[in-house]
Amino acid sequence: MHMQIWMPYYDLEESARVLHPSHLKRSYFTARWLVKYTGRATGSANWAKHSAQRLIAQYGQNVDFLRKYRDILEYEWVSSRALPAHEIGKDYLYVIPYAWTQRPVANPRWFGNNYFHDSHKSALLALDYIYYGRMDWDVPLEIDLWWPETAEYKTRNAKL
């Protein structure tokens, strides 16, 4: 499974609102999984090299931010979109109180960086130009998807 959390805007609610349903669902499940595993230590060398470690390194200091975005993604997915019949009644789906999505949390230092958000817009346009082309995003399609590297991630993986 490809892990990705899409954040095309500095506004988390707007980011969730514009996502294609499949990207919204993938972002939600990735965020849900990362909240569960951020901060867990394992002795497995395979786990240490897992691509998810890059995302975990980004959120390690900001797990409350990740929880908030997970809740916003879930709220958008469950309350604002029609779910396929096979998803209704699953134990992971419940409508969270909207107030949960409004709690104040510290943003990661990279959140709000224009290049970060533009790279997400560019990648989303490349994935589905018909859907995202209607957003009138003024970004080139050639921007590489950018996640800022943390010293923790670089240090940990240099030893492997």
- Tell me the CA distances in angstroms from 159 to 33, 54, 96, one per residue in order: 25, 15, 41
Compute the mean pLDDT over every residue in the chain, rounded to the nearest whole number: 75
| CB proximity list for 144: less than 8 A, separation 6 or greater | 119
Q: How sure is the predictor about 46, in pLDDT bands with cuts at 50, 70 and 90?
A: low
pTM equals: 0.75
Q: Using one digit for the tens of pLDDT, what is the confidence trace for 140-157? A: 988 888 776 655 445 444
Structure confidence at residue 157 (pLDDT): 45
